[in-house]
Structure 1
Amino acid sequence: MTWKKKLLIGLVAATLLLLLTLALMPSPIPVSTSQVQQGYFAEVVEDEGRTRLREPFTVTAPIHGYLRRVTLEPGDAVLAGMPLFQMEPVPAPALDPRAREQAREAVFVAGARLEAARAEQEARATQYTLAQVEYERAEHLHQRDLVSSEERDRRRAQRDATRAAERAARHAVEVARFELASARLPLEIADGQRSGEEIAAITLEAPIDGIITRRHRRDEGPIQAGEAVLELGNLDDLEVQVDLLSLEAVRVRPGMRVVLERWGGGDELEARVRRVEPAGFEKVSALGVEEQRVWVWSRITSPREAWEHLGDGYRVEARFVLWEGDEVVHIPTSALFRDQDRWAVFVVEEGRARLRSVETGRRSGLRTQIESGLEPGEWVITHPGERVGDGVRVESQQ
């Protein structure tokens, strides 16, 4: 056999051996990868909230009465001192035959009292006139030393007493006249005799410059004392109310930065935490889980022009920035797993997965800060399965 044939047979055998080796080798495991990034990173807490007026004003009826039609509507601007609505006294109820007869009797009694008071006034006036004449006569005789000083003083006292009695009788006539007018009023209203008179009304005024946000009553009709009619406030003082889980609220502090997003406008809004309430409350989630929640209030700091169409009770999503930094190395949280007592990741190096321990820092949603163990630009495997191991060939699907 010539050397050429031997060389050809050797090449064929090597080729077959190589093909057999490649056929028996396991194929690379397809994996999803993500690049290690370095840049801005923030630890945040996110939740849904509502806008609220910091100092809303509810205008209520001060007394029982009859509300006139409210013409102001939500969205109308008002100035302090501007009339909001008017109230009238409660209309007199209709009189049944028995009540009408009792009212007539009350008018008759009041009229008799008025006549008696007038007669008493006339008698007291006559007594006062007589006492005045007797006093003047006694004063004249005293000047001629025909009457003693004691007699003159007694006449003066009688005159003063009768004058006081005459004044009291005159006031009694006025009281009797008012009683008669009050007794006649139910009958006059029932008979329609006072329908043309102007009825005095109470006008409620705006306490501040602001805008009407809600109207609880519009149509006229009876109203009870304390019943709400209008709500108003100043939209420039709008703030955001968010109920956070208590384990997240304990990390929030007044003055922290808040980002408001998905509120309906184009750009995100800036806000600052104003107050974290010290008392929590229990709330049942949509899944039926009992949660302890805490109210957190934030004031919008973005220019008013950026959120001029935002109103009271609007939905927003708030992102509370607990910590933020630049040039921070971070990766998807899904790439991390526990290897014994340390955190680890699989790094893709030359087509193979390499196990590497890392030191983690802060977490924020789907991203985690890496303090050591990785360099920016490296590729890590996200959601590594059971087939992925140290040194295993992998194929990135990204």
Structure 2
Amino acid sequence: MSTRTRLALGAAAAVLAAALAWALAPRPIEVEAAGITVGQFETAIEEDGKTRLRDAYTVSAPLAGLLRRISLREGDPVASGQPVAALQPAYAPLLDERSRREQQARLGAARAQVRAADAALERSDIALRRARQDEARSAGLAAGGFVAPSRLEADQLATQAAQRERDSAVAQRQIALHEVEQSRAALAATSSLATPAPSGAAAARADFIVRAPIGGRVTRVLQASEMAVSTGTPLLELGDPGRLEVVAELLTADAMAAGPGTPVRIERWGGPPLKGVVRLVEPAAFTKISALGVEEQRVRVLIDILERPPAPPGIAYRVTVRVVTLSRERVRKIPVSALFPLAGVDGASAVYAIENGRARLRRVRLGGRNDLDAWLEDGLGDAARVIVYPGASVRDGVRVRERSVAPPP
């Protein structure tokens, strides 16, 4: 074999070995990467809320009676002291046949008592005339000395007793007349329900006017039609729709970071976000069952709306509140998808940074994190790039290559 042939075979073998080495060499892992950005960072508690009137007033019936039909409707403006409802005296209850006959019997008995009282009054008049005649006769005889003075005194006392008996008979007759009037009035009230009221009878039934305690608008009419109501029956609700607040039910752990004065953004109500502020965290929590059947301890948080849009939300509208617990301007941020717990160190976070084409494990110190970004305080330079969503094949020191991402259309 000639020298040229040996050189050719050696060159071919070297090329083949190089090709095999290149083919068997590990390929760089394609990864997605992101750089460090500078901007605003905030953490917030997001929860559903509901609008309600800050001061709602329920107008109720102060007396039992017949409510006249309320002409006001939801949304109508009212002034303070304006009449909003009227009450009339209620009718007497209906009598069944047995009760009606009993009442008629009572009326007959009362009339009989009047006749008996008239007879007793006539007897007392006769007795009084007799006593006066005896007194006058005894006075004439006593003046002539024909009877003792004691006889005259006895006749005078008998006259006074007869006068008292007549006064008692007059009083008994008045009592009997009043009982007749009571029985007649009970029967008349029952019969008046079955016959048309005479002209002017409705005007004689004086109305009791219920007035608005505040100026505002009618939010709900609870009893619109004419009906008999008892004392304390709610009639309508009043309030000022311009004075709304938002109530949200937060987990007790979240409510600890949402004290009074915490800024809030009110979103998803049908318009642009509104500014708000936490006014009060109620002192008592309550147990609520979540949609998954888990018991949760929640507490109501009251939020004031600081701005009024041209078309504000209505009452009991559903909204989304974002209670901002932390806000910083111009901080370094990295995607939260690049973070993962550092093995063996409790509470520590780490990332894979791309350095000279290789992934390098770097421990980082964070100032906070939210759903999208993490506030980076230390651990990486400003020009560093980190791997987002690192897979199981990414290890410290492996070769990586950034995957090109097509721009959005």
TM-score bracket for this pair, using the shorter chain length = 0.7 to 0.9
Instruction: Find the partner of 1:337 among 327, 335, 340.
Output: 340
Pair 1:307–1:294, CA change in 2 (3 A):
farther
How far has the Cα of 1:394 moved from its partner?
Answer: 3.3
The answer (yes or no) to whether the contact 1:344–1:355 under 8 Å persists in 2 is yes
CA shift digits 1:213-257 (9 cap, x unpaired)? 222222322333323221121122211101111111111211111
Residue in structure 2 matched with residue 371 of structure 1 by the alignment: 377
Secondary structure of the corresponding residue to residue 85 of structure 1: strand
Alignment of 1:352-391 (within 5 A): 352-376=358-382, 378-391=384-397
CA distance in 1, matches of 2:113, 2:79: 52
Task: Give the structure 1 partner of residue 233 of structure 2.
Answer: 227
SS in structure 2 opposite 1:104?
Answer: helix
User: 2:316 corresponds to which residue?
Assistant: 313
* TM-score for the superposition, normalised by structure 1: 0.77
Shift of 1:180: 4.9
Paired residues, number: 357
Equivalent-residue separation in structure 2 for 1:176 and 1:330 (angstroms): 98
Equivalent residue, structure 1, for 2:102: 102
Matching residue of 1:132: none
Residue 250 of structure 1: aligned partner: 256
For 2:179 and 2:51, the matched residues in 1 are separated by 56
Query: Taking structure 1 as reference, are residues 189 and 195 closer, same or farther at Cα in structure 2, changes over 3 Å only?
Result: farther
- After superposition, the C-alpha distances for 1:80-119 in whole angstroms (9 at most, x for unaligned) are 12222223333222222222233334445566777869x9
Q: Assess, with a 3 A threshold, how the Cα gap between structure 1 residues 335 and 179 changes in structure 2: closer, same or farther.
A: farther
1:394 aligns with 2:396: no
Q: Name the structure 2 match of 1:36.
A: 36
CA distance in 2 between partners of 1:83 and 1:378 (Å): 73
**Relative to structure 1, is the Cα distance of residues 225 and 30 closer, same or farther in structure 2, using a 3 angstrom cutoff?**
farther
Match of 1:208 among 186, 200, 214: 214
Supply the AA of the counterpart residue of 2:70: V
- Are positions 1:278 and 2:283 aligned together? yes
Between the aligned partners of 2:379 and 2:55, the Cα distance in structure 1 is: 52
Q: Separation in 2 of the partners of 1:96 and 1:294? A: 56
Aligned pairs for 1:1-398 within 5 A = 10=11, 19-108=19-108, 180-192=180-192, 195-196=197-198, 197-198=201-202, 199-265=205-271, 267-302=272-307, 304=308, 306=309, 308-339=311-342, 340-341=344-345, 342-376=348-382, 378-392=384-398, 393-396=400-403
- Is the 2:59–2:236 Cα contact (8 Å) retained in structure 1? yes
Task: Please tell me the residue identity of whatever aligns with 2:225.
Answer: D
Shifted more, 375-384 versus 35-44: the winner is: 375-384
Q: Which runs of 5+ in 2 are unaligned?
A: 129-162
AA matched with 1:232: L
Distance 1:15 1:286 in 2: 67
* Structure 1: distance between partners of 2:61 and 2:312: 31
Percent identical pairs in the alignment equals 39
Q: How far apart are 1:322 and its partner, in Å?
A: 1.3
Task: Describe the SS at the equivalent of 2:242.
Answer: helix
Contact (CA 8 Å) 2:91, 2:189: kept in 1 or not? no
Deviation at 1:274, TM superposition (A): 0.5
Unaligned regions of 5+ residues in structure 1, if any?
Answer: 128-161
Residues 28, 395 of structure 1: 8 Å contact kept = no
Partner amino acid, structure 2, of 1:328: V
| TM-score w.r.t. length of structure 2 | 0.75
Task: Decide which structure has the larger Cα Rg and report it.
Answer: 2
